Structure 1
């Protein structure tokens, strides 16, 4: 929704900006033409006689020599009142020439410049004089000094005297920008508000569907399905998703029933075999047979656990992870295994203790099997708890590390039970990490000269 609103706002800003520029240019041109017409009127009226326009501006209650309340007297000057450093407005000069020509004004030399009232000596003196004669103008003098002043100088070709007209008015930008800004704000409020309402109607069910998918990814349970809502496309999507959830949940239920039946049907004859091998007289043969049965049972347990890890039956429990890791390490220490507990931080989080114990045992057992030693440490990194298991083994080729967490993949391609089982330990540990929203990462440890000195298994669990 935020991205859509941002895109609409950006597009609206572009369109409104282009429109505002065109409107501003059109209105400014009209505004400048109006100022030039006012100046031309004063000059044309002045041709009726020197001072004619100024006398028309005077009021009866203002004595001769007073300052008219509007505009400025037309000034007569022997020299052009345009400084050499001032930039003349050639476009305005062309427009003024056309206006005067249309009114049959004599051919003349023109000069047009822009100033502020305070920068023009005549306009400044007139403004100060007005403030002395009229109380209403005294408080506005400072503001008037900043007003825009159009200075138009005309010298007929057959004369030596310049006629200078001044037109004062606020700058066009001050007149035009405020309405454009207000117009833009109103358009933004109306259009963006309408788009926001439409997007909210679409995104609210979409956000609910996203949350539902995330929950279903953790616990594949068809309970609590969403009721169809929103536009027709969203309603159809929710209905289709609910149907898909139902089918997935039914398939998983069938899988669990099948796995339970397989486990029962296989473990029962294995238990009977355990009893029967007791009648075998040869102890070494009996031990080998018992070891084979145990290996089959362990493999069967791993396969069933890997199949069920996505739908755990036990709930999340608030657990002190450091204590859980220490208890697993103590189990191996009690058995005389070379397992050490390194630096450990106290971390409490929600997890499934039984499954995480299984993952830690698989990783530590893998380290002992291939590296003869295991060093376990626990630390806190950002929003994750990190369990590190280091060994002193030969490591794993870099191009095979990712494949080692796949089921039935082993470093030793043989099925020798002395160096491992069916290759399900790392796959089960990774599945348990994924179940908790974490990850399992394997990496080789290198010495200073670049040789592999062991493998590090990094188990990451998010802290929520």
Structure 2
């Protein structure tokens, strides 16, 4: 039942005490002020009616009664009419408003004669008919003599002030929430490897502290990546020099079985060094650009076919709506090429398709190979992990292909998942956010 967003929760925390205070004030007003005022006004009108009735009982003739009624009308703002010989109608089954009940109670206490109340006689007027021994006294009283209109003013001011305060609080709260949202957007963009150079700490002190901590964390991560890249690049450079000398020396040696074995070892070391350097370098230096994913898949599929892979591209990839995303083109091409190369190496046929799922787009790479056991599908993404136990480069590489591919996908804010394929092999799912 509690709202999920910080803005909604903050507004709830601010408005709940205001609503409770207004509810209590309204209850106190109606229970004390309005009820008290209505009782006083009703008793005042009933007392004036009782005074007129008593004076009429003392008047000796019709002329004196008329003077009494005229004087009462002039000084009380109430119209009195006397009808001789008339009898009141039967009483209603019940009174329909709180005002009628209050006025009726006052008439019982002050007048003590049969009475009838008609609140529909005219707009903003109330008729009170009192039975006299020889006729009926009709009294027309304006509503202002019986009803306190301050209740409406109170409600209008209360609701109006609440709306104004709520609007002001909403504007201020939005300004306070905006830096938090910008921080969340910047953190998400940094997790996807995008540029956040325009992000600046702003807002309340605590939000600024969180933003400064985020920027420090970003700088530490960048330094760590740079140090890793520089270290492995230096190691690779240092190893390339002796490897080059060994290649030159081996080239000048006569062809012998031992020499060929050493050449194979040197070539294997060269491949391993290139793999380590590629893993360390990642894709941090490449900038994003708007890329049509459908055209990219068609291009990668064509390259794979030229290299001898049997690959089927889903026609909907090129015939459907264009999917344009901010991507690191070279890195994503390398990721998909690695996955398609693995599928072609272990299967006879490869199927490539594209699907939209909610806020993500999924690139599906299926093969009909032996697949990967379910309990090993996460382990194969660890660096240097190989299902094939030997270290033969022809049967499994150095164990960095899937690691590099997942690292590229995660730098785009996505991931790579391995599942069972409907083609009886393995399905690699490259998930990218839209």
The interval holding the TM-score normalised by the smaller chain is: 0.7 to 0.9
- Take 2:390 and 2:137, find their aligned partners in 1: how far apart are those partners? 110
- Take 1:153 and 1:291, find their aligned partners in 2: how far apart are those partners? 124
1:268 correspondence with 2:275: no
Report what 1:133 is aligned to.
Answer: none
1:83 correspondence with 2:55: no
1:351 correspondence with 2:358: no
Tell me which of 41, 50, 56 is aligned to 2:71.
Answer: 56
- Take 2:155 and 2:290, find their aligned partners in 1: how far apart are those partners? 59
- Take 1:154 and 1:408, find their aligned partners in 2: how far apart are those partners? 108
* TM-score, normalised via structure 1 length: 0.71
Report what 1:444 is aligned to.
Answer: 420
Report what 2:223 is aligned to.
Answer: 250
Q: How does 1:269-348 map to 2 (within 5 A)?
A: 269-278=242-251, 279=253, 281-282=255-256, 290=263, 292-309=265-282, 312-343=284-315, 344-345=317-318, 346-348=322-324
| CA distance 1:261–1:83, change in 2 (3 Å) | same
| CA distance 1:16–1:112, change in 2 (3 Å) | farther
CA drift of 1:391 comes to 0.7
1:189 correspondence with 2:164: yes
| CA distance 1:29–1:244, change in 2 (3 Å) | same
CA drift of 1:342 comes to 2.6
CA contact (8 A) 2:413 2:432 kept: yes
Tell me which of 151, 163, 182 is aligned to 1:176.
Answer: 151
Deviation string, structure 1 residues 216-242 (Cα, Å, up to 9, x no partner): 44559896673x654444444444444
CA drift of 1:259 comes to 2.1
Q: How does 1:52-451 map to 2 (within 5 A)?
A: 54-58=69-73, 70-71=78-79, 73=81, 78-79=87-88, 81-84=90-93, 92=102, 96=106, 100=110, 108=112, 116-117=119-120, 124=121, 127=122, 144=123, 147=124, 149=126, 167-169=141-143, 176-190=151-165, 192-193=167-168, 196-197=171-172, 200=175, 202-203=176-177, 205-219=179-193, 226=200, 230-278=203-251, 279=253, 281-282=255-256, 290=263, 292-309=265-282, 312-343=284-315, 344-345=317-318, 346-379=322-355, 384-412=360-388, 415=391, 417=393, 419-446=395-422
- Take 1:348 and 1:164, find their aligned partners in 2: how far apart are those partners? 85
1:454 correspondence with 2:425: yes
CA drift of 1:257 comes to 1.7
SS in 2 for 1:47: helix
CA contact (8 A) 1:33 1:95 kept: no
- Take 2:278 and 2:166, find their aligned partners in 1: how far apart are those partners? 56
| CA distance 1:273–1:393, change in 2 (3 Å) | same
1:20 correspondence with 2:35: no
RMSD between aligned alpha carbons? 4.3
SS in 1 for 2:314: strand
CA drift of 1:165 comes to 5.5
- Which stretch shifts more, 253-262 or 47-56? 47-56
- Take 1:406 and 1:320, find their aligned partners in 2: how far apart are those partners? 30
- Take 2:138 and 2:370, find their aligned partners in 1: how far apart are those partners? 98
- Take 1:458 and 1:173, find their aligned partners in 2: how far apart are those partners? 73
CA contact (8 A) 2:191 2:411 kept: no
- Take 1:386 and 1:179, find their aligned partners in 2: how far apart are those partners? 60
